[in-house]
Amino acid sequence: MGLSSRSVKASRGLPDPADLVTVGRVVRPHGLRGEVGVRLETDFPERFERLREAYLIQAGRVEAVEITGSRPHKEGLLLTIHGVGDLEAAERLRGAEIAVSRDAVVPLEEGAFYVFEILGLRVRTEEGRLLGTVAEVIRAPANDVYVVRGEAGEILLPATREVVRRVDHASGEMVVALPPGLEEPDRAH
């Protein structure tokens, strides 16, 4: 990605992209001094006020960077990254994800989960019937929707307390109460 060697931690020990959580995405350079415009992909934009170490993910490669400044701008923010000092260097970062390690995420209230904690969970009904696994999370205004894919096809589950009864990360499962009419009659077993 072309940053100076002073801004990058040793390449050994860098996390796998799958072990990181994206909190923003570089959308464009801003000005001539290397600032970048960032679209936020976090519910906690205030995290950038104190964020100093982050990772850039671009083309599957991870690079550790030092954030030296941030400020709100329009519907996102502007970031200054150590070693990115001109328009050309900032342009090379277009599309890069800005990520943090999973242990650096903001703690959530009881019963709330990050998308990365939900993806891949097996989904069972309260009666124990396996519906499939959570393949995707759709962000919607009222509530998220979990896309569950299994042998019987795809089910869209509203991510509400009425539907999602329990999430057990230790077993890798989510237990749900299916609302009437959610499954097609020919799907029921």
pLDDT at residue 154, rounded to an integer: 93
**Quick one: 115-176 is in which CATH superfamily?**
PRC-barrel domain (2.30.30.240)
**pTM of the model as a whole:** 0.66
Q: What is the pLDDT of residue 47?
A: 84
- Structure confidence at residue 117 (pLDDT): 87
What is the third-level CATH fold of 5-104?
A: Elongation Factor Tu (Ef-tu); domain 3 (2.40.30)
Q: Quote the strand ranges of the chain, DSSP E.
A: 20-30, 35-40, 53-58, 61-73, 76-81, 97-101, 122-125, 130-138, 145-150, 153-158, 164-168, 173-176
Structure confidence at residue 183 (pLDDT) = 66
pLDDT digits (tens, 9 = 90+) for 104-133: 887 888 877 888 889 999 999 999 999 999
pLDDT value at 79 more than 90: yes
Asked if residue 159 lies in contact with residue 145, where contact means CB atoms within 8 angstroms, the answer is yes
More confident residue, 58 or 44: 58
Give the pLDDT mean for 167-182: 89
pLDDT tens profile 6-25:
333 434 588 888 889 899 99
The yes-or-no verdict on residue 49 having pLDDT over 50 is yes
What value does the mean pLDDT of the chain take? 86
Q: Where along the chain do its domains lie?
A: 5-104, 115-176
Residues with Cβ within 8 Å of 88's Cβ and at least 6 positions away in sequence, in order, are none
